[in-house]
C-alpha cells in the first residue's frame, strides 16, 4: 500500500510532471513565476485545491455519474441506472465542483487565516481556470489504465500539486536570475521563459522510465 | 454595422489580436496537441466551434446575466458547448484522433481565450459582432496551431499531414515531445517580437527622415 502511494507520488512529481511533460497549468506557471514568494503561495493554494477536488470529483464520478446500483440519483430516478450521467454531465459537474471549492476555500481562509488570505488574495480566484486542476480530476477518473481508488486518486491530486509547486519554484529561481542577464531584445520576457522551460523539461526527461 | 466594421471584427483576431502570438493565451492545449497538423486542426476546429457558440449565447443573454455571478454563468454555457463538441467528435472522428487529443477536448472549458472573449467582448457587444469576433479569434488560433504543429511534425517525424517529405532525413523525435514544444513556441514568439521591433524601428527612421 505504502509502496503504491510512493510510486504514484514519484511518478506524478518527477516522471509525469504536470507542467513539464503534460503541458497543464502553463498560464499560472508563466504568469506567477516572476518572484519566488508568489510562486510558493500559488503552489500551496493549487496543491490544496487539487487535493480536495481530486477527492470530491472521485466521489462524484463513482456515486453520481457512473451507471450502476451505487448511483445515488438512480435511487430517485431508476431510468438513470442503465446509462448513468457520465457522457453529458462530466465536464460540467467537475468544473462546478472546482469553482465551488475555490469559492469555499477563499471564504474559509478569509475567516480562519486572514494573513494567508492576504498573501494569496488575487491568486485564489485564478485557480478555477487553472487547467491542471481540471486535468488531474479528468486523469484520475478516465485516462488511467486501471481505475484508481479513492486514496490513490487523492494522493495523485496532492502529488500533482507538489509537482506543480516544484516546477514553479525552479522557474521563479531561473527568472529572478534572468532579470539580471543581457538577453537579445526580441527574446525578453515570455519567449526566453518558454525556452528555459523547454530546457527544464529536457532535464526532467531524465526521470522518464523510472516508474513503469 | 457597416461592411467594413464587420470585416474588422473578423480579421482583428487573425493578426492584431492573434491569441497565440500576441495575447499568449491558451498555450496549454496548443502545446499538447500540436504533435501533428491533423491534431492541431481538429483541436482548432473544436475550440472555434465552442468560441463562436458561447460568444453568441452569452451576448444574447448578456442583459439577463447579473454582473456578480457572470463567471459561473459563462462557465456553464461554455461547458455545455464543450460537452456537445466532445460527443460530436466521439461520434464522427476516427477513434485514434480522439485518443490523441485525450483530455484536452474537455479541457477547452478552462481555455483562457474563450473566457477572455466572453468577459471582454461578448458580455458587452451585440450577437453578430460577437460571432464574428469569435470566428476571427478561433481562426487565428487554429492558424497558429497549424504553424506550430507543422514545424514540430516536420522536424520530429519528417512528415507533413502524414506524408513523408524526405527519404534521407533523420527525425529528431525530441521535437514532438515536451521540450521541443516549449522551445519551438519560445523561438516563434521571439521571431514575431523581432518582426514587430524591426517594423517599429523602420517607421521611426521614416519619421526621422521627414523631420
Query: Which of the pair, B166 or B41, is modelled with greater confidence?
Result: B41
Residue B164 β-bridge partners? B159
Query: Which of the pair, B171 or B43, is modelled with greater confidence?
Result: B43
Examine the predicted complex and report whether its ipTM is higher than 0.95. no
Least CB-CB distance to A143: which of B71, B102, B197?
B102
Query: To which residue does cell 454531465 refer?
Result: A89
Least CB-CB distance to B182: which of A90, A138, A197?
A197
The reported pLDDT for the residue numbered A143 is 52
Cα–Cα separations (whole angstroms), residue A147 to A72, A97, A150, A152: 20, 21, 10, 10
The reported pLDDT for the residue numbered A145 is 58
d(CA A136, CA B112): 18
Q: B111: alpha, beta or left, given left = phi > 0 and alpha = psi -120 to 50?
A: beta
Least CB-CB distance to B110: which of A87, A131, A184?
A131
The reported pLDDT for the residue numbered B7 is 83
| The three three-digit cell numbers of residue A58, written as one number | 472521485
Of A121, A197, A115, give the one whose Cα is nearest residue B28.
A197
For A106, other C-beta atoms within 10 Å of its C-beta total 17
Contacts of A186 in chain B (CB under 8 A): 190-191, 193-194, 197
d(CA A121, CA A204): 31
Across the interface, whether the CB atoms of A194 and B185 are under 8 A apart is answered yes
Structure pTM?
Answer: 0.86
pLDDT per residue as tens, chain A (212 positions): 888 889 888 888 888 888 888 888 888 888 778 788 878 888 888 898 899 999 999 998 888 888 777 777 777 877 777 777 777 888 889 888 888 888 888 888 788 878 777 776 667 777 877 888 988 888 888 755 567 888 989 999 999 999 999 999 999 999 988 888 898 888 888 899 999 999 999 998 888 877 76
The reported pLDDT for the residue numbered A64 is 84
Domain ranges of chain B: 3-210
Instruction: For chain B, give percent helix, strand, coil, nearest 5.
Output: 75, 0, 25
Domain ranges of chain A: 22-203
Query: Which of the pair, B145 or B157, is modelled with greater confidence?
Result: B145
The predicted model gives B41-65 an average pLDDT of 93
State the count of interchain CB pairs (< 8 A) between A and B.
Answer: 129
What is the band of B69 on the pLDDT scale with cuts at 50, 70, 90?
A: confident
Contacts of A92 in chain B (CB under 8 A): 76, 79-80, 83
- Report which secondary-structure segment, H or E, holds B164: strand B163-164
SS3 A151: helix
The predicted model gives B32-61 an average pLDDT of 91
Contacts of B187 in chain A (CB under 8 A): 191, 195
Amino acid at each position: 500500500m505504502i509502496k503504491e502511494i510512493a510510486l504514484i507520488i514519484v511518478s506524478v512529481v518527477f516522471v509525469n510532471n504536470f507542467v513539464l511533460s503534460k503541458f497543464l497549468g502553463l498560464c499560472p506557471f508563466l504568469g506567477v513565476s516572476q518572484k519566488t514568494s508568489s510562486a510558493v503561495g500559488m503552489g500551496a493554494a493549487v496543491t490544496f485545491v487539487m487535493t480536495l477536488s481530486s477527492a470530491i470529483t472521485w466521489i462524484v464520478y463513482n456515486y453520481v455519474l457512473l451507471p450502476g446500483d451505487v448511483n445515488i440519483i438512480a435511487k430517485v430516478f431508476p431510468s438513470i441506472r442503465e446509462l448513468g450521467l457520465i457522457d453529458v454531465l462530466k465536464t460540467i459537474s467537475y468544473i462546478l465542483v472546482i469553482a465551488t471549492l475555490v469559492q469555499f476555500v477563499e471564504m474559509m481562509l478569509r475567516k480562519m487565516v486572514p494573513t494567508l488570505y492576504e498573501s494569496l488574495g488575487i491568486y485564489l480566484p485564478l485557480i478555477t481556470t487553472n487547467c491542471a486542476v481540471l486535468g488531474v480530476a479528468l486523469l484520475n477518473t478516465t485516462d488511467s489504465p486501471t481505475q484508481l481508488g479513492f486514496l490513490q486518486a487523492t494522493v495523485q491530486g496532492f502529488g500533482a500539486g507538489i509537482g506543480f509547486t516544484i516546477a514553479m519554484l525552479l522557474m521563479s529561481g531561473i527568472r529572478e536570475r534572468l532579470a539580471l542577464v543581457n538577453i537579445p531584445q526580441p527574446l525578453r520576457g515570455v519567449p526566453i521563459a518558454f525556452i528555459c522551460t523547454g530546457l527544464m523539461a529536457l532535464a526532467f526527461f531524465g526521470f522518464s522510465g523510472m516508474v513503469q | 454595422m457597416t461592411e467594413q466594421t464587420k470585416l474588422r471584427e473578423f480579421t482583428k483576431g487573425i493578426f492584431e489580436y492573434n491569441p497565440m502570438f500576441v495575447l499568449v493565451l491558451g498555450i496549454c492545449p496548443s502545446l499538447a496537441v500540436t504533435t501533428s497538423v491533423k491534431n492541431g486542426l481538429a483541436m482548432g476546429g473544436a475550440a472555434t466551434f465552442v468560441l463562436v457558440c458561447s460568444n453568441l449565447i452569452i451576448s444574447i443573454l448578456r442583459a439577463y446575466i447579473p454582473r456578480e455571478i457572470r463567471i459561473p454563468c459563462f462557465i456553464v454555457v461554455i461547458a455545455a458547448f464543450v460537452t456537445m463538441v466532445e460527443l460530436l467528435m466521439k461520434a464522427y472522428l476516427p477513434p485514434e484522433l480522439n485518443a490523441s487529443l485525450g483530455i484536452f477536448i474537455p479541457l477547452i472549458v478552462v481555455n483562457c481565450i474563450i473566457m477572455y472573449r466572453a468577459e471582454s467582448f461578448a458580455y458587452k457587444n451585440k450577437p453578430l459582432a460577437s460571432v464574428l469576433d469569435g470566428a476571427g479569434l478561433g481562426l487565428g488560433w487554429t492558424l497558429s496551431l497549424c504553424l506550430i504543429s507543422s514545424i514540430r511534425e516536420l522536424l520530429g517525424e519528417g512528415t507533413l499531414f502524414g506524408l513523408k517529405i524526405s527519404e534521407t532525413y533523420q527525425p529528431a523525435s525530441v521535437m514532438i515531445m515536451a521540450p521541443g514544444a516549449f522551445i519551438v513556441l519560445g523561438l516563434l514568439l521571439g521571431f514575431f517580437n523581432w518582426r514587430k521591433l524591426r517594423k517599429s524601428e523602420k517607421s521611426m527612421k521614416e519619421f526621422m527622415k521627414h523631420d
